Structure 1
Amino acid sequence: MENEFSMTFKMDTKNSSFYLSYVKANLNGIEANSTQLTVGKVALKASYMCASGIEVKMSNNITMVLEYVQFQAFKIDNGKYGIAQICGGDIGNNVIIPIAVGCALGGLIIIVIIAYLIGRRRMKHRYEAM
């Protein structure tokens, strides 16, 4: 028995977009499929990219996780993917780090301003004794 994996895309002509609608997998004689999916809806000339993983519930109580994938169904120019739309799981991971760095820098600026004001007040008292 041959191992097989196939994906079917559907085009939404109203929105000029496409999405993953059907997945079929056969591995070591275990076959599973998933119908009526709407995964990765993007514009026609764009691609869909997800590193964190897309969970696909399949038949026979099988869940398939597609990690580090990028796909584009239609209008591939010169064998290169179009502009990638990132999945939600990847966006959440990338936002936390810049927010943490921004908060740390903001806190550091506030500490420097307070230290400057305290130091300035102490300097005035030293020169008044003349």
Structure 2
Amino acid sequence: MAQIGAVHSWYLGVTLQLILAAILHQGFATVTAPPTPQTTTPPHTEPGKPETGNYVVKTSNGTVCLKASMGLQLNITFTSVSKNKTVQGVVNLKPNGTATSGSCDTDSATLRLQTSEVEKTNLTFIFVLNATSNKYHLNEVSLSAAWPDMKKPISARNSSLDYLRGTLGYSYRCRNEQTLDVSPDFSMNTYQLQVQPFGLKGDQFGAAEECQLDEDDMLIPIIVGAALAGLVLIVLLAYLIGRKRSHAGYQTI
């Protein structure tokens, strides 16, 4: 029984180590946060999670060639007219007030989002496809914004990005919030994102390839569940072995 107790104690220690390792792994598996802008006033209060919008690009014959579903939150650093200071504006893109356009080629696909509300914003995504590997990714994002409190319009562009990587015929999905850095003055937070710029069949997403953040969220319950199941099994075996030895002590000689 002492040997069984030792095994039990050893397994408890290993189980706790596995659970702790899973939690620490989740803590480190985060998307790189955007660089802290040099501001002279605290950032504005964030407006909460954005509404999820559905955006579609079609070819000239009406075939859907790009589909995206996501909530978008824009983080832009600019000079405020009212405060005469540099501030960070945080604005949610509202699907109902956003016009969608774009185009699709063999190895590139473009999604343009334009708002006609007070915070006028033009946002463009360009995806590219590697014909050799059949892999695609978000290669370029450009922004132009003219908000009422801006001292002058803001523009940003980055054509060397490597975000939202997926496989031809599959969609890329990330339910967790992630931050995409575009420039020192502009980044985006995405929520409940699913996008497929190539290989659509009809108007439905292909099978989803999950982002690392989502995979880590699924990994922790699996590790914890497996550890607890193993613990229950050890306890049950210890009980059965102890019960068997106890009965053996009363056998007739």
Q: TM-score, normalised by structure 2?
A: 0.46
Q: Relative to structure 2, which stretch is displaced further, 104-113 or 38-47?
A: 38-47
- Kindly indicate which of the two structures has a greater share of residues assigned to helix: 1
User: SS of the residue aligned with 1:24?
Assistant: strand
| Larger RCO, structure (CA 8 Å, separation 6 or more) | 2
Structure 1 counterpart of 2:122: 4
The alpha-carbon deviation at position 64 of structure 1 amounts to 1.5
Q: Work out whether 1:35 is the aligned partner of 2:153.
A: no
Partner AA of 1:51 in structure 2: R
Q: Relative to structure 2, which stretch is displaced further, 2-11 or 104-113?
A: 2-11
Distance 1:34 1:68 in 2: 23
Unaligned runs of 5+ in 2: 1-118, 148-152
The alpha-carbon deviation at position 65 of structure 1 amounts to 1.8
User: Using a 3 Å threshold, how does the CA distance of structure 1 residues 60 and 108 change in structure 2: closer, same or farther?
Assistant: closer
Distance 1:106 1:64 in 2: 42
Distance 2:157 2:189 in 1: 13
Structure 2 counterpart of 1:93: 217
Provide the identity percentage: 19
Structure 1 counterpart of 2:131: 13
Structure 2 counterpart of 1:117: 241
Distance 2:186 2:120 in 1: 19
Structure 1 residue ranges, 4+ long, deviating more than 6 angstroms after superposition: none
- Equivalences for residues 56-67 of structure 1 within 5 A: 56-67=180-191
- The answer to whether the 8 A contact 1:11-1:18 is kept is yes
- The answer to whether the 8 A contact 1:34-1:57 is kept is no
User: SS of the residue aligned with 2:142?
Assistant: strand
Unaligned runs of 5+ in 1: none
- The answer to whether the 8 A contact 1:53-1:68 is kept is yes
User: SS of the residue aligned with 1:68?
Assistant: strand
User: Using a 3 Å threshold, how does the CA distance of structure 1 residues 25 and 53 change in structure 2: closer, same or farther?
Assistant: farther
Q: Relative to structure 2, which stretch is displaced further, 34-43 or 75-84?
A: 34-43
Structure 2 counterpart of 1:24: 142
Distance 1:98 1:11 in 2: 34
Structure 2 counterpart of 1:46: 170
